[in-house]
Amino acid sequence: MLELIKIEFLKLRRRKLIWIMLLSALIMPFLTMLLFKYRGQTGVDPIQFYKWSAFGYNIFIILPVALGILCSMLIHEENQHDMLRQLWIVPVSKMRFFFSKFFVVLIYSVIFMLITAIASAFFSIVPGYVTFEWKSILYLLERCLEIGVITSFAMLPIMAIAVSKKGYILPVCVTLVYAFCSFILMPVNMYLHPLCSMAGIIMRNKDIPGLTFAQTINVPLAFLCICVWDIIAVLLAKITLERK
């Protein structure tokens, strides 16, 4: 499996867009810095800054959309050019092929959130909006790692759709709908959508100020929601790949 994951990264050589997409991890930390500069606040609670820079739009829009595009790109070329048959002849196990792609998404997601964490720390501490504290930095890193890992699992349904379709337009469109649906479903029922459930897990301690939830946070139920969606996604991918 490790070899397959390494091979997946070899396939990404010269795919500049994938690496350029990582720059989108800087968007929210930078905009948050501008917001605090506009407000003229200094010495603010670090969590208040990180709420905007790392735990807000990043987890509902930017990261899911970036991962959705990545899923489509990882699979599109092999699907489009009928390259899969070259792999099946080797032979490469179809599910190992699928999971190797998933691990690339997971690693990418973690790197993305680590960049967000570093940028958040940089844009908050260097201009002096937040005073340096190891405790808050470690909190930020821990939460960003959690977001990175859980979001990749929450994006498995998009990966399954990318595997089942030849083009990349539909998976990208579904990603956008999927991300916006999480906004709509969050106040209705946060255990229906994996991204909402992921947000519930991240904010389980209710230690991020200014966030209120319509339901009580139930971490096992949130994990169950993600698991159910992931099982369906894996089954869909298995059925689709068996047909290819």
Partner 1 sequence: MDDFVIETKQLTKVYGEQTVVNSVDIHVKKGRIYGLLGRNGAGKTTIMKMILGLTPITSGEVFVFGKNIKGQEKRIYPRIGAIIETPEFYPNLTGTENLEIFAKLRGTSAPNAIKNALEIVGLPYKDKKLFSKYSLGMKQRLGIANAILHDPELLILDEPTNGLDPIGIAEVREFIKSLSIEQGKTILISSHILSEISLLADDIGIIDHGVLLEESSMEELKKKNGKYILLQVSDVPKASLILERQFHLKDYSVHDEQTLRIYDTSLNMAEVNKALVVQDVAVISSQLCNNTLEEYFKKITGGEGIA
The contact set with partner 1 (CB under 8 A) reads 3-4, 6-7, 10-11, 13-15, 77, 81-83, 85-92
Cα–Cα distance for residue pair 193/183, rounded to 1 Å = 10
CA nearest neighbour of 29 among 53, 48, 51: 53
Query: CB-hemisphere CA count at 13 Å for 35?
Result: 15
> 81 or 204: whose CB is closer to partner 1?
81
Q: Whole-angstrom Cα distance, residue 175 to residue 163?
A: 14
Rounded least distance, CB 221 to partner 1, Å: 40
C-alpha–C-alpha distance, residues 62 and 131, integer Å: 27
Q: How many degrees, rounded to 5, is the angle at CA 117 between CA 51 and CA 71?
A: 100
HSE value, Cβ hemisphere, 13 Å, CA-based, for 108:
32
To the nearest whole angstrom, how small is the minimum distance from the Cβ of residue 162 to partner 1? 17
Q: What span, in angstroms and rounded, lies between the C-alpha atoms of 114 and 134?
A: 16
The least distance separating partner 1 from the CB of residue 56, rounded to whole angstroms, comes to: 34
Q: Toward partner 1, which CB reaches closer, 89 or 177?
A: 89
Q: Shortest gap between Cβ of 205 and partner 1 (angstroms)?
A: 44
Which one, 5 or 59, has the nearer CB to partner 1?
5
Q: Which CB, 47 or 69, lies closer to partner 1?
A: 69
Between residues 98 and 153, which has the closer beta carbon with respect to partner 1? Answer: 98
Closest contact distance (angstroms) between CB of 95 and partner 1 is: 13
Minimal distance in Å, beta carbon 65 to partner 1? Answer: 23
C-alpha dist (Å) from residue 159 to 28, 45, 135, 155, 172:
25, 37, 36, 7, 10
Residue type at 131 in one-letter notation: T
Q: How far is the CB of 5 from partner 1 (least distance, A)?
A: 11
Give the span between the Cα atoms of 39 and 21, in whole angstroms. 29
Give the DSSP letter of residue 228.
H
